[in-house]
Amino acid sequence: MQEKTSGQETLRFAPSPNGWLHLGHAYSALFAWEMAAALHGRFLLRIEDIDTGRCRPEFEAAIYEDLAWLGIDWEQPVRRQSEHFADYEQALKNLRDMEVVYPCFATRKEIQDAIIASGVPLQNWPRDPDGALLYPGIYKDIPRAKLNKLMWEGRTYAWRLDIAKALQLAEARTGALITFREEGESAGGEPKRLPVKPELFGDVVIARKDVPTSYHLAVTVDDALQGVTLVTRGQDLFPATYIHRILQVLLDLPEPRYHHHGLIRDEEGRRLSKSAKDMGLRELRAAGHSPADIRRMVGL
């Protein structure tokens, strides 16, 4: 991997083409684009399409169309993650060489069964910031012979980051607690350095057997390769920064600044999402709304 820098502030908008863009995406894209302009910096568009099973060409085409309609422009070429798996494979290899990741063969049912067998009801088991059950460590520290047997059998597995080892190594390298610079609402109005809390995620999945990456690994590598200096994204992704900072230290990648902005919510306070099939920009455009209307809707 070779880091690209320009000496300018560099921001990005990085949607996944697994659905139509909605008002929340419009706000995030406009927020980053306008901040890049205010800083006389660069604005990049990145297509995060590592989930090849859910991503669709029509959704990607709609992203370009919707953003152009909003008046947003971006540098070419657009980085598509599905074209750069080799970059993530190399990063994963580096983590494997450090012995901070391990293969996990557990299915979702095995994880649930192990939790139930522990005597703790599922509803009482701790969950990570994304709502997933914390991994109970079923295949962690298994004997090498058993590990080799499972791999030889061709069992499906995921690579998990050993959070305790990773954090210990990261702190040993820096000689200090791992922090990040937050400039958004979570910083209380003034930029400040905040400590990471990666233990909230447990041993998070960092890659899979068939896809050599995860959101956490891919976004960390991409931000470095593209020379992103200021990451702007919604507050729902604030906790992900804990994992990304650990990976940056371990992989010797530059540290960007972060600005986690508020989310666009409906009248009941629920944040908008693709899974809930909230009205997309294409529907709003078809209903006769203008880009100026969209800006008013999202408070810009």
- Class of domain 1-83+264-300 as given by CATH: alpha beta
Q: Which residues make up the CATH 3.90.800.10 domain(s) of the chain?
A: 84-228+235-256
Q: What is the pLDDT of residues 33-90, one digit of tens each?
A: 999 999 999 999 999 999 988 999 999 999 999 999 999 999 999 999 999 999 999 9
DSSP code per residue over the chain: ------SS-EEEE---SSS--BHHHHHHHHHHHHHHHHTT-EEEEEE----TTT--HHHHHHHHHHHHHHT----SSPEEGGG-HHHHHHHHHHHHHTT-EEEE---HHHHHHHHHHTT--GGGS-B-TTSPBPP--TTTT--HHHHHHHHHTT---EEEE-HHHHHHHHHHHHTS--EEEE-SGGGTTS-EEEE--GGGG-S-EEEESSSS--HHHHHHHHHHHTT--EEEEEGGGTTHHHHHHHHHHHTT-PPPEEEEE---B-TTSPBP-TTTTPPBHHHHHHTT--HHHHHHHHT-
Q: Taking the model in full, what pTM does it have?
A: 0.91
Q: Is the pLDDT of residue 3 over 50?
A: no
Q: Which pLDDT does position 20 carry in this prediction?
A: 92
Q: Is the pLDDT of residue 288 over 60?
A: yes
Q: Domain spanning 84-228+235-256: which superfamily?
A: Glutamyl-tRNA Synthetase; Domain 3 (3.90.800.10)
Q: Which residues make up the CATH 3.40.50.620 domain(s) of the chain?
A: 1-83+264-300
Q: Is the pLDDT of residue 284 over 70?
A: yes
Q: What is the pLDDT of residues 162-180, one digit of tens each?
A: 999 999 999 999 999 999 9
Q: Which pLDDT does position 11 carry in this prediction?
A: 98
Q: Which pLDDT does position 269 carry in this prediction?
A: 54
